[in-house]
Structure 1
Amino acid sequence: MAFSLLFPRLGAGTFTRSCADMICSTTAAGSHLTAIRAAPLTAALLSKRWNSSAQKKEITPAVEDLERLNKLRNIGISAHIDSGKTTVTERILYYTGRIKEIHEVRGKDNVGATMDWMDLEREKGITIQSAATYAQWGNTNLNIIDTPGHVDFTIEVERALRVLDGAVLVLCSVSGVQSQTITVDRQMRRYNVPRISFINKMDRAGANPTRIIDQIRNKLKIPAAALQVPIGAEDAFEGVVDILSKKAIYNRGTRGEDLVYEEIPAHLVETVNNAREELTAALAEVDDEIGELYIEEKQPTDQQLHNAVRRATIARKFTPVLMGSAIKDKGIQTLLNAVVSYLPNPTEIKNTMLDIDNNEKPVDVVPYSHEPFVGLAFKLEEGKYGQLTYIRVYQGRLEKGQFAHHVKSGKRVKVSRLVRMHSNSMEDVDSVGAGEICALFGIECASGDTFTDGTVNCSMSTMFVPDPVISLSLTPKDKNSPNFSKALSRFQREDPTFRVHVDAESKQTIISGMGELHLDIYVERMRREYNVDCITGKPQVAFRETATRKSQFAYTHKKQTGGAGQFGRVVGYIEPIDPEEHAELPHEFVNNVVGGNIPSQYMAACEKGYIDGLHEGFMVGHPIVGVRMVLEDGAAHSVDSSELAFRLATFHAFRESFKASSPRILEPVMTVEVSAPVEFQGTVLGSLNKRKGMIVDTETQEDYCVITSEVPLNNMFGYSTELRSATQGKGEFSMEYKRHSPVLPNIQEELIKDYQKKQAEKK
């Protein structure tokens, strides 16, 4: 029921009494307009008297905006590599009329999928950069971001999920929950993103959706239940039965564009009834209304189940599971209906920003266009017209020609061109409202920066950026080429996980990233996009150093050269932090000084001295982590003490006590998941053991096996070539950072000797 039909039925006094409790819903294309109660805009509106002038002047624009937002979904397509994300997105674009032809990821027509627009993506058959597009399904607008599955490009998933309201988690019907699936699940939880699970590749041999649903429950630890029952499986997969409507759904036509609804096949009636019972039981655990009916042994209606699935999904207590085969053009339209029906619109997601003028106090974002503009730049690209900045508009409206305030720099920038993206093509627009995703040209900023209209001084919380785990030395063949530094500068702005620094002693340029493939892609992009050929050095692993026992210090920094000298004394101890805390708390400084022995104005300098000491360890020259420094006492001089004196005193005190703390070298350990035919299982296990891998899990499915192990990154170089040759090209693996762990004593000795040898050669 549209708002234009609803409002005439309300009297002058009725509106203010009933608006907050009114829920409007439509069933067309599965769209559901949410309770006005949930909309923050109503507080201002309800204080107004309802009259014809107010209706025309104030209520109508707000209602139009609310109706627009209710018909908007911002979704991402995420999964483990090779689960079929890009193929699913290609079908979504086709069925929504966004594209006229379907092309495959590894197509024989040399065109490739729409969202994989980079030449490298089409050559390698993988997604490297997340790509944004928009489409319309029924009367609902969809902003879609297709993300990479490879762990080396995890930042693309991270920043996409940061700005999205919902997601589709794609799982392979055979492989199920894999290592990168768990990573994506963790990212969705980090940004509170509700998800629908879609079991893809139902046409594959060994397809088993029941086992995959169990994996979602047990491995991802989220309640899940199917909304569909498959009609056949593997090469006999024909369609699905919708559990709520109890209708069989088939895709007909040359590309499955026609949906045909029929009665449930007789042999599946009992299976469907059992699946409905399972769905009801799962919802009873997470939804109060269904829980009460379940206890009273009453059967919920289709609408009650439908509403419960939506509530539980948006509350992130449950994930509905759908199934299909994107490559065979089956199940995508029902997935789109589920996106509209069960994933939230921008008004149903709580976003907060930090009030800079009020000590960064969290403030709720009001997702309406009449509010002051607030937007987050979440992705940068270098286009032929300059830097292209992707922005999610969280609040207010962004218009072409207006000025935007860059919160970080304080500069005002003019929005000269505003576009909506469709992969690498774009459409100019005059304005975008709250909840939309757009792109700007010619704006200098970094990924994660906030823009406002200048009337509010707030910043959106930025995204999580993991630390690099591997480094390469990089030397251009043509040392006079200006494009070398230009390319590195651009890649750093685009990708926060890509780091560049110049080694102070060797003067070599060092690039760091999330894996071998990550760095290889950037080296190849430099050659193709900037015509810069580079020579790469041996990969360097990101080792860390840490303390293993408590160590006391009492250090006095004293220097007298005539006139005012330097004096600072610090007393305390350092101790290791529990390794479980390393990820969240890599180091900590504690001030336990009492009695003013160290004046409070020097305490910040003491902490800076401690931070200085963490940058480079003395064993292999890598950063120090997992150490807590506790300052207990000290002394100051009325004339000679200064910030510099206490900074140096703390620095040297930390270095001396660290050497006495039985330090250890830590190396990155990776979770390695290998998939290979069963006949090669012994060979794969042997190769992982040879690389000092610890086998965590082995799972055999039909004619192939999946082996999960934890292996030091330093032992994984060249593994892809070894695996291919050992499995006749049939094996594949994925690798993800797990943690830093101590190296073996003999390895530590070798690393220290190598480091000392290099240092001696430089002298």
Structure 2
Amino acid sequence: MNAAQETKPDNKGLKKEVSRRRTFAIISHPDAGKTTLTEKFLLYAGAVELAGSVRARASQQHTASDWMTMERQRGISISATALEMEYQGFRINLLDTPGHQDFSEDTYRTLMAADSAVMVLDSAKGIEAQTEKLFRVCRMRGVPILTFINKMDHPGRDPLALLDEIERILGIAAVPMNWPVGEAPSFQGVYDLRGNKMLRFQRTEHNRFRAPVQVSGIDDPALPELLGQAAYDKLVEDASLLSGAVAEFDLVRFLNGTMTPVFFGSALNNFGVEAFLNAVLELAPAPVARETEQGVIDPASDTFRGFVFKLQANIDPRHRDRMAFVRVCSGKFEKDMLVLNPRLKQEIRLSRAFKLFGRERVSVDEAFPGDVIGVVSPGLLSIGDTVTTGKPIDFAKIPVFPPEHFAILVNDDVTRFKQFNKGLEQLEEEGAIQVLNSEDALRREPIVAAVGELQFDVVLSRLEEEYGVKARVQRLGFCGARWIRASDGAIPRMSLSTGMRRCRDKNDGIVVLYNSKWELEYFQKENPGLILSETS
């Protein structure tokens, strides 16, 4: 019986657990408010007592999702984080992703583990480059997207123009679920178009909003007095425009990724966040069936299956171990269960598994589809691996990106040679960098290859923080790399131009580094028998 033909067990308990799970990622351009919104979600779910600020000030409460020293110093998200919480009977698995493009590889992998996504936009900036790039990844996978337009209590663009931009640039229908009333600095709140409620914003010491005011509709005579005549007239005018220009919300179109519900609010000032979180839980899908090369996998299948989408070493300095982030896709995980890793053709006992909350961990005895668990299994799990109690199976491939930045990494303390090598090995396993060794005998220091230049800063920071090694980088002028093999399978002979460099990767594969597109084209012309690949 193949994977696609497996019968679903008559297990109401498993189906109930699946139905109450919501696993979603939060995506945005840097500084749109993604991490702030994440923290407010945690606050409403009771997962934290005081929401942290992402601003890099020593006096402020740290965010739960940004736990690295460098993240806290710079006020940016560097590494994707899993946060699990309970809220109103739902089990939420929230995946907070880096916004900066230099860490987009980690974000892309994390999106593979999500069933839906929350897209955060700055009301003054609209669709920005990284937001558009991450949206395209969601669109390719058909991931449903909910949109939160942030910072409405600050001067921004016209809401109708923002809706038009979403539809024009992203090619997706945008349907407002609430509508802002007043413009900053006279922002009054949002009108709930579905529930006919007015959520009024009130600037106080803690920036709280007044309780929602229930009205009978946009024509309720209480609204002009509540809002003021000018603000009410503008709301009526906008509502009239929306009724003729915007499609009605269609759940089917949302679930297939061609329509996004749009909400307005202010994450920093805690306005509209609770209503948005409730909408996410109402609209976002429970764990869905997944396509594999062996057929469609239903989450309610009795066979346990999951895949590794992230590795992270030294999350907690008290443990100094390597954690594999496993997304559960079907069946029930149980502590100490024996699973097959098809890549190694080896069985692994998952005896050290944890539920995750940023850098915090708690031992877990069971998990269900949609959950993300951390598994400590040194050397036995890699990014993209599948674990299963059934027959071998292959989920969609985790994307790999070609490096664009290169630098020589110099260890300034030769007495810590072992720590230096261990740190590089673990960072490479995480997929943040690739380590190359030049075949030029004059240079023994490793060459670090990365998708984004900020990864070099991360490497230096983590080597010092986690391994006690001080190092420095010497930037190289190469703009790209190609992995080389010969069409006949023999060790390739090649002619290199003066500026190119031949290296070996961790698997002893041959890599050449080049300085320009012209140089690469010339190399291809001079070596017609070679097969070139952007990735290993």
The bucket for the TM-score relative to the shorter chain is: 0.7 to 0.9
Identical aligned residues as a percent: 26
Matched, 1:115 2:56: no
2:508 alignment counterpart: none
Q: Which amino acid aligns with 2:356?
A: M
How many angstroms apart in 2 are the aligned matches of 1:528 and 1:326?
Answer: 31
How many angstroms apart in 1 are the aligned matches of 2:405 and 2:354?
Answer: 36
Relative to 1, partners in 2 of residues 1:606 and 1:118: Cα closer, same or farther, differing over 3 Å? closer
Among 280, 296, 312, the residue aligned to 1:364: 296
2:106 alignment counterpart: 156
How many angstroms apart in 1 are the aligned matches of 2:498 and 2:282?
Answer: 58
Secondary structure of the corresponding residue to residue 268 of structure 2: coil
Q: Which amino acid aligns with 1:382?
A: A
Offset at 1:273? Answer: 7.3
Offset at 1:91? Answer: 0.5
Q: Deviations over 1:109-135 (max 9, x none)?
A: 243211111111111010111111122
Which is greater in Rg? 1
Q: Deviations over 1:507-528 (max 9, x none)?
A: 3310011232111121121122
Among 118, 143, 150, the residue aligned to 1:168: 118
How many angstroms apart in 2 are the aligned matches of 1:476 and 1:392?
Answer: 36
Among 331, 350, 357, the residue aligned to 1:396: 331
Q: Deviations over 1:433-464 (max 9, x none)?
A: 222211112352111111111x3111222211
Among 103, 111, 114, the residue aligned to 2:52: 103
Among 199, 204, 226, the residue aligned to 2:149: 199
1:493 alignment counterpart: 429
Secondary structure of the corresponding residue to residue 475 of structure 2: coil
Relative to 1, partners in 2 of residues 1:42 and 1:541: Cα closer, same or farther, differing over 3 Å? closer
2:312 alignment counterpart: 381
Structure 1 unaligned spans of 5+: 1-39, 46-57, 284-304, 356-362, 546-585, 588-603, 624-664, 668-740, 749-763
Q: Which amino acid aligns with 1:155?
A: E
How many angstroms apart in 2 are the aligned matches of 1:744 and 1:485?
Answer: 31
1:256 alignment counterpart: 208
Relative to 1, partners in 2 of residues 1:259 and 1:139: Cα closer, same or farther, differing over 3 Å? farther
How many angstroms apart in 1 are the aligned matches of 2:426 and 2:377?
Answer: 14
Secondary structure of the corresponding residue to residue 541 of structure 1: coil
Larger deviation, residues 485-494 vs 403-412: 403-412
1:229 alignment counterpart: 179
1:464 alignment counterpart: 399
Contact 2:143 2:256 in 1 (8 A): no
Relative to 1, partners in 2 of residues 1:385 and 1:498: Cα closer, same or farther, differing over 3 Å? closer
1:429 alignment counterpart: 364
Offset at 1:101? Answer: 1.0
2:532 alignment counterpart: none
TM-score for both structures, normalised by structure 1: 0.60
How many angstroms apart in 1 are the aligned matches of 2:325 and 2:281?
Answer: 24
How many angstroms apart in 1 are the aligned matches of 2:161 and 2:475?
Answer: 43
Offset at 1:366? Answer: 1.3
Q: Which amino acid aligns with 1:72?
A: R
Offset at 1:403? Answer: 1.0
Among 608, 615, 621, the residue aligned to 2:489: 608
Offset at 1:204? Answer: 1.8
Offset at 1:398? Answer: 1.2
Matched, 1:321 2:252: no
How many angstroms apart in 2 are the aligned matches of 1:744 and 1:340?
Answer: 50
Offset at 1:666? Answer: 7.1
Contact 2:28 2:34 in 1 (8 A): yes
How many angstroms apart in 2 are the aligned matches of 1:381 and 1:744?
Answer: 34
Secondary structure of the corresponding residue to residue 463 of structure 1: coil
Relative to 1, partners in 2 of residues 1:279 and 1:528: Cα closer, same or farther, differing over 3 Å? farther
For 1:209-288, list aligned pairs within 5 A.
Answer: 209-250=159-200, 254=206, 256=208, 259-263=211-215, 265-266=223-224, 267-268=231-232, 271=235, 274-275=238-239, 278=242, 282-283=246-247
1:80 alignment counterpart: 29
Relative to 1, partners in 2 of residues 1:137 and 1:501: Cα closer, same or farther, differing over 3 Å? same
How many angstroms apart in 1 are the aligned matches of 2:115 and 2:284?
Answer: 8
Secondary structure of the corresponding residue to residue 438 of structure 1: strand
2:388 alignment counterpart: 452
How many angstroms apart in 2 are the aligned matches of 1:742 and 1:172?
Answer: 40
How many angstroms apart in 2 are the aligned matches of 1:544 and 1:99?
Answer: 44
Structure 2 unaligned spans of 5+: 225-230, 503-513, 523-536
How many angstroms apart in 1 are the aligned matches of 2:138 and 2:302?
Answer: 28
Secondary structure of the corresponding residue to residue 338 of structure 1: helix
Q: Which amino acid aligns with 1:447?
A: I
Q: Which amino acid aligns with 2:426?
A: R
Contact 2:106 2:432 in 1 (8 A): no
1:141 alignment counterpart: 91
Contact 1:243 1:272 in 2 (8 A): no
How many angstroms apart in 2 are the aligned matches of 1:376 and 1:276?
Answer: 48
Equivalent pairs counted in the alignment come to 488
Relative to 1, partners in 2 of residues 1:180 and 1:391: Cα closer, same or farther, differing over 3 Å? same
Q: Which amino acid aligns with 1:98?
A: A
Contact 1:418 1:439 in 2 (8 A): yes
Q: Deviations over 1:185-213 (max 9, x none)?
A: 12212332110111011122234332222
Q: Deviations over 1:599-629 (max 9, x none)?
A: xxxxx974435x9468x74363269xxxxxx
Q: Which amino acid aligns with 1:542?
A: C
1:630 alignment counterpart: none
How many angstroms apart in 2 are the aligned matches of 1:258 and 1:402?
Answer: 50
How many angstroms apart in 2 are the aligned matches of 1:343 and 1:313?
Answer: 9
Matched, 1:484 2:363: no
Relative to 1, partners in 2 of residues 1:75 and 1:543: Cα closer, same or farther, differing over 3 Å? closer
Offset at 1:396? Answer: 1.2
Contact 2:123 2:150 in 1 (8 A): yes
How many angstroms apart in 2 are the aligned matches of 1:477 and 1:396?
Answer: 49
Relative to 1, partners in 2 of residues 1:145 and 1:606: Cα closer, same or farther, differing over 3 Å? closer
2:346 alignment counterpart: 411
Q: Deviations over 1:239-277 (max 9, x none)?
A: 211112222123578463874234353343674575476
Matched, 1:517 2:469: no
Contact 1:229 1:272 in 2 (8 A): no
2:40 alignment counterpart: 91
Relative to 1, partners in 2 of residues 1:530 and 1:249: Cα closer, same or farther, differing over 3 Å? same
2:464 alignment counterpart: 527
How many angstroms apart in 2 are the aligned matches of 1:142 and 1:544?
Answer: 40
Offset at 1:394? Answer: 0.6
- Give RMSD over aligned pairs: 3.1
1:352 alignment counterpart: 291
Q: Deviations over 1:410-439 (max 9, x none)?
A: 121111122111111122221112222111
Offset at 1:491? Answer: 0.2
Contact 1:201 1:207 in 2 (8 A): no
How many angstroms apart in 1 are the aligned matches of 2:325 and 2:480?
Answer: 34
Matched, 1:177 2:127: yes
1:538 alignment counterpart: 475
Q: Which amino acid aligns with 1:620?
A: G
How many angstroms apart in 2 are the aligned matches of 1:535 and 1:311?
Answer: 52
Relative to 1, partners in 2 of residues 1:216 and 1:433: Cα closer, same or farther, differing over 3 Å? same
Offset at 1:136? Answer: 2.8
TM-score for both structures, normalised by structure 2: 0.83
1:649 alignment counterpart: none
How many angstroms apart in 1 are the aligned matches of 2:183 and 2:370?
Answer: 39
Contact 2:53 2:60 in 1 (8 A): no
For 1:589-628, list aligned pairs within 5 A.
Answer: 606-608=487-489, 612=492, 617-618=496-497, 620-621=499-500
How many angstroms apart in 1 are the aligned matches of 2:492 and 2:242?
Answer: 58
Matched, 1:331 2:272: yes
How many angstroms apart in 1 are the aligned matches of 2:73 and 2:143?
Answer: 32
Q: Which amino acid aligns with 1:241?
A: Y
